[in-house]
Amino acid sequence: MRNIAACVAAILICGMLSGCWNRIELNELSITSATAFDVEGDEWVVTYQIVTPSAIASGMGITGGGTSQSPVSVFSTRGRTIREAVNQGALENPRWLFFSHTNILVVSEKVARKGLGQILDLFYRNPDNRETVNVLITAGNPRTILEQLMHTEKIPGLGIRNVIFNESRNASMLPSVMMYELAMALTGDARSAVIPEIVVAGGKPESSLDELKKTYHSSKVRIGRLAVLHDEKFVGWLTKEESLGVSFIANKVNATAIAFSCKHPDGNVYNSTFRLESSSTKLKPSYSNGRFAMSVEIKGSGNLVETGCAMDLSDPKVVKGLEKQLEAEVTQTVEKSWQAVKRLKTDVVGFADAVHRKYPKAWKQVKPDWESSFVDIQIEPHVTISMNRIGLSNKSFKTPEKEEGG
């Protein structure tokens, strides 16, 4: 009996000591920081931004022996399908492409017009892809985005991801859209989604290390407009201002700066800035005589950070007047955005979800032709802004001090 127990124990120990049969060593992997998709004719063109480990480990593009080396390399492959194009990488790349550390995914407008269904299927079918990758769109060749080097980040893909996060936290004009968020939006009630645009502004892309030795950027990556998609396909663009209004309606504003006029004589000069620190939006639909209306209740608070008007900010009535000006500014932004969304006939503001929750029976009737019902909705913006602080001074720089006894 003891001999049998000893044999069983030996077999178990041997099983525990066995190695991974399908292991891949780190020095056999090409880690991708960014991936781009384009189409030419009937072929997919997939571009990869590959991290150069030796350059990253030794400093910004400097390797042993004093030779310069780029922190990333960029190349493209072609195929009739996306995965076929990826497999073509084995013909020129000595390492296995590893996508689990991809930071951004850039699609061309041509791909978006064709439809993103095949890309979404690829990401959810293969375990080596991350659902938290940030999705971006560009009107031109997406390869130019991946070739652009950055002064402040060694790995450009990671740098662009940080730009998206920074903008989403501090400006909220263009949302950060991850792959799983895109998939959820396109399969939701409205079947609509948005993707921020990425562009190379200035001259031609900085793909040479010599450009990084300068103190200025001849070109740089920058967030642009907002792309609108319906049924997985591109339908149009929204400007930054229109995108901010969409963010207000969809309750996606984290913080932003609002320029406004504090009753300037001509009424058109923006001479003050309010820092919105918090914002919340509630959508309250109503249904009558076969038509919907939407109450958009926006509440926000923040601080006055700049003003060019001569006023006494210690007076509560003056502060209340500034709050009214801000509320009017936000209301105008929301209404302009609503007109732009109606023009595209695409519900990217979440009205379908609100109607479905409150009026499930009516939703069944309007769902097949929601686009027609959506553009007939009348919105009623109700904006409330609270100015919590006015800064270190309660008087404007232009306000003259009253003389004693005066």
The reported pLDDT for the residue numbered 267 is 56
Question: Is the model's pLDDT at 124 over the cut of 90?
Answer: no
pLDDT bucket at 61, cuts 50 / 70 / 90: very low
pLDDT bucket at 3, cuts 50 / 70 / 90: low
Of residues 6 and 62, the one with the higher pLDDT is 6
Average pLDDT, the chain: 85
Question: Is the model's pLDDT at 7 over the cut of 90?
Answer: no
Question: Is the model's pLDDT at 26 over the cut of 60?
Answer: no
The reported pLDDT for the residue numbered 397 is 59
pTM across the whole model: 0.85
The reported pLDDT for the residue numbered 405 is 41
CATH dotted code for 250-401 = 3.30.300.210
Closest CA to 36 of 205, 246, 211, 170: 205
The vertex-389 CA angle with 383 and 393, nearest 5°, equals 135
Of residues 99 and 210, the one with the higher pLDDT is 99
Give the mean pLDDT of 18-27: 56
The reported pLDDT for the residue numbered 63 is 40
pLDDT bucket at 265, cuts 50 / 70 / 90: very low
Of residues 271 and 113, the one with the higher pLDDT is 113
The reported pLDDT for the residue numbered 351 is 96
Listed by start position, the domains of the chain span 24-238, 250-401
pLDDT bucket at 403, cuts 50 / 70 / 90: very low
pLDDT bucket at 18, cuts 50 / 70 / 90: low
The reported pLDDT for the residue numbered 404 is 42
Question: Is the model's pLDDT at 13 over the cut of 70?
Answer: no
User: Considering only 241-255, 333-347, 378-392, which range has the smallest mean pLDDT?
Assistant: 378-392
Q: pLDDT per residue over 222-249, tens digit each? A: 999 999 999 999 999 999 999 999 999 9
Q: pLDDT per residue over 148-198, tens digit each? A: 888 788 899 999 999 999 998 889 999 999 999 999 999 999 999 999 999
SS3 annotation, the chain: CHHHHHHHHHHHHHHHHCCCCCCCCHHHEEEEEEEEEEEECCEEEEEEEEECHHHHHHCCCECHHHCECCCEEEEEEEECCHHHHHHHHHHCCCCEEECCCCCEEEEEHHHHHHCCHHHHHHHHHCCCCCCCCEEEEECCCCHHHHHCCCCCCCCHHHHHHHHHHHHHHHCCCCCCCEHHHHHHHHCCCCCEEEEEEEEEEECCCCCCHHHHHCCCCCEEEEEEEEEEEECCEEEEEECHHHHHHHHHHCCCCCCEEEEECCCCCCCCCCCEEEEEEEEEEEEEEEEECCEEEEEEEEEEEEEEEEECCCCECCCHHHHHHHHHHHHHHHHHHHHHHHHHHHHHCCCCCCHHHHHHHHCHHHHHHHHHHHHHHHHCCEEEEEEEEEEEECCCCCECCCCCCCCCCC
Distance of CA 301 to the CA centre of its chain: 23
Give the mean pLDDT of 352-381: 93
The reported pLDDT for the residue numbered 89 is 86
User: Considering only 86-90, 117-121, 282-286, which range has the smallest mean pLDDT?
Assistant: 86-90
Alpha carbon separation from 306 to 107, 171, 260, 394, 398 (Å, rounded) = 39, 17, 10, 12, 12
